[in-house]
Structure 1
């Protein structure tokens, strides 16, 4: 198997699966005719796949038979009741999980002997600006692992994390877009308050956020140093920074992660 010939099937085609498919299509790395999907509501699935030029499968068995790589994108609570019956068909395939909370040892329990890896992507993969965490524990061959990496790299940044860190990696990657979207909305509201049209405000703030992230990734500069670079003594930015510190912005972000991780 390689990127130019592999067929990929999505078992479940919700927001995360469709974001991955959209990213592959946008990157031009996977043609639509090699993408398959199966979901509970077949009529709705047909509409979503037809819009992308993908194949819709009526059953999970049909999907697995058509695919070389099967992406597990169903709700986590459905996995244990779904995969064991598919295990014989999954032999010789690569299983890539995007289901929250399911690590390598969990898949070994329900589909022993099947080659699998657990991943945690986030929705910006749809525009090839995502974050994809790969669990270091997996049962793939070296060739299969290289293939999975090659598939995900065009979708953004790929990192490897130990099993004990997979949950928090998924939380950081998966929840940060919501937190940043709230920040974009709030800063745009402030811009609108002072007269900037809302569409322009969203464009300005979103570009500032995207540019800052890209600058940090490109240079590796410590975020604190990036903040210091625009905080002139007695200037406007440092006054805003001081107000955000008084409001507890940093601790609020940390508490949000604590709330999700149950700590």
Structure 2
């Protein structure tokens, strides 16, 4: 199936689902008319779908009957009560799950006979710069797997991981935008402290973060080597690095992941 023909349905249309929809729209490969959604509040759903030219459905049963692929984007505790009543219909349509904690084996227990893959995207998918952790096993057919990876690839970088690593991969990719936003805010505050207007400060810092990340991806150079390249002997940068080390910056990030995974 060509991308221009595929019909995608979102069961649940909260922040992550709308970020994915926006990313597909931004890619110019998927039109709003190709996407359908249902959620708890139909009136609120209309507000979120109309300006995207998407179709709003009254419930999951209606949606599943109209699409070629489903994105399950509801809270983990809602999966069984929402999906089991439509299990027979769902068996006819492959689905992508973005629900944390639900891997292939969990879905097989609750929805045997369905075709699915478990993923954990992050919010930058809305501008096609996301990272999507994807379980490396699924019950998708080969053509379905190719289609799903093509669609997810429009949203950013797809990283396939073993089931046991899906949670931590999702945590690192999914939660870290909040951590990096805090870094941007903190460095912006420092710039403002010394007189740079806030709008300029955030623009500078965000571009610095984006540029540094793109440089690492393009070069493949170890981040420590990149750090060393900026630190001249006795220079200013190494003094700042030493202060960050003394403040426990490195261990603070690791502990942030530990507390989520623990």
Any residues of structure 2 matched to 1:200-219 within 5 Å, and which? Answer: 200-219=200-219
Distance 1:95 1:197 in 2: 47
2:27 is matched with: 27
Unmatched runs of 5 consecutive residues or more in structure 2: none
SS at match of 1:4: helix
Distance 1:2 1:176 in 2: 34
1:254 is matched with: 254
2:131 is matched with: 131
2:184 is matched with: 184
Check if 1:161 corresponds to 2:170: no
Aligned-pair CA distance for 1:206 = 0.4
1:192-248: CA deviation from partner (whole Å, max 9, x where unpaired)? 000000000000000000111111111111000110111111111111000000000
Distance 2:105 2:221 in 1: 37
SS at match of 1:132: strand
Aligned-pair CA distance for 1:91 = 2.3
Any residues of structure 2 matched to 1:59-98 within 5 Å, and which? Answer: 59-98=59-98
Distance 2:52 2:5 in 1: 19
Distance 2:91 2:97 in 1: 16
SS at match of 2:154: helix
Query: What is the TM-score with the length of structure 1 in the denominator?
Result: 0.98
1:163-216: CA deviation from partner (whole Å, max 9, x where unpaired)? 000000110011100000000000000000000000000000000001111111
SS at match of 2:131: strand
1:141 is matched with: 141
Distance 2:185 2:144 in 1: 41
2:228 is matched with: 228
1:54-109: CA deviation from partner (whole Å, max 9, x where unpaired)? 11101111111111111000111010111111111112211100011110011101
SS at match of 1:131: strand
Distance 2:211 2:86 in 1: 44
Distance 2:6 2:99 in 1: 22
Distance 1:47 1:221 in 2: 45
Check if 1:41 corresponds to 2:41: yes
RMSD (CA atoms): 0.7
Aligned-pair CA distance for 1:154 = 1.7
Aligned-pair CA distance for 1:2 = 3.3
Which has the higher mean CA deviation after the structures are superposed, 151-160 or 188-197?
151-160
1:240 is matched with: 240
Distance 2:114 2:2 in 1: 19
Query: What is the TM-score with the length of structure 2 in the denominator?
Result: 0.99
1:10-49: CA deviation from partner (whole Å, max 9, x where unpaired)? 0000000000000000011211000000000110100000
